[in-house]
Amino acid sequence: MGRIRSVFEEPVNGGTKIWRYCDVTKLFSLVDRKALFFSRIDKLEDRFEGSFPKTNISIRAEEYGKYFAENADTMSKFHSYAFEQIRKLCLVNCWCASEYEIAAMWKFHINGAHGIAIQSTIDRFKNSFTDVLDDDIFVGNVRYIDFQSERINEGRLLDRFFCKRRSFGFECEFRAVILRFQESLQQGVINFDRPPYEHGKYIEVDLDRLIEAVFVSPSAPTWFVELVQSVIERYGLKKNVKQSDLDDDPVF
């Protein structure tokens, strides 16, 4: 049976607010299915997800040349192939960890006025899973590094899935990751026989535990705010739907 596990040794503050900025259709899907969608990491827009910095590749080439000599090129190609396959078996669910709304997130992740932000906390998120989990879910804050000069520890399999380029630092991302080959890892090997999901997997959650509040785009019309509140109530959820105040008029 799977469980929720922290990916890094340093503790994560369970009271930290987390936000999921998305199109309203994803909110409606969440309340209808009562399940969070974990996407294959290789299906995300950032093509660098799960990849390595250039420093890793240079060091890897040196080590292969030292220990494998004539087979160095073959080993390097196999290594790259294996890591590419691992990406297909990695599922991820992403949030923004911040005590306040981040204005850039409304513009970066949402097209137009029909966006929402689901507000939760790390503890709420971790305690919301109701299913008997097939696999462990690893949670932690994303680390933002320089992919030109820094290195990811290849000895820790999960690190590459919790590192992104510094240009994404404004996202302040907290994420949950599932690896679909965990059983074989316990024997010290990676078995690629378990087929990847086509796009990802829905995992059941308790919505009352997960959702603390729902924020509506600062540019949304009043009728849209009322629609979101109506849909939330229709599914039996007593959650406060608020409009973001980022577009309120300034005072002088």
User: 241: which 2 tokens?
Assistant: 């739907």
Contact of 183 with 23, CB cutoff 8 Å = no
Compute φ and ψ for 70, nearest 5 degrees: -65, -25
Contact of 95 with 120, CB cutoff 8 Å = yes
Helices (H), 89-196: 103-109, 122-127, 182-185
Report the pLDDT value the prediction gives residue 188, as an integer from 0 to 100.
54
Helix (H, G, I), strand (E, B) or coil at 246: coil
Residues 30-63: tens digit of each pLDDT: 999 999 999 999 999 999 999 999 898 888 777 7
Does any domain span residue 249?
A: no
Confidence of residue 178 (pLDDT cuts 50, 70, 90): very high
Helix (H, G, I), strand (E, B) or coil at 170: helix
Does any domain span residue 250?
A: no
Does any domain span residue 248?
A: no
Does any domain span residue 176?
A: yes
Report the pLDDT value the prediction gives residue 180, as an integer from 0 to 100.
82
What residues make up the domain containing 103? 4-243
CA distances 162 to 123, 157, 240, Å, are 19, 10, 32
Confidence of residue 133 (pLDDT cuts 50, 70, 90): confident
Q: How many CA atoms lie within 13 A of 187 on its CB side?
A: 6
The pTM (predicted TM-score) of the whole model is: 0.90
Residues 74-88: tens digit of each pLDDT: 777 777 788 888 899
CA distances 245 to 16, 61, 215, 248, Å, are 21, 52, 9, 5
Does any domain span residue 252?
A: no
Does any domain span residue 212?
A: yes
According to DSSP, the residues that pair with 38 across neighbouring strands are 201
State CA 183 to chain mean position distance. Answer: 22
Residues 217-234: tens digit of each pLDDT: 999 999 999 999 999 999
Compute φ and ψ for 197, nearest 5 degrees: -70, 155
Q: Looking at the 3D structure of the chain, how many domains does it have?
A: 1
Does any domain span residue 118?
A: yes
Dist. CA 140–CA 64, nearest whole Å: 32
Does any domain span residue 192?
A: yes
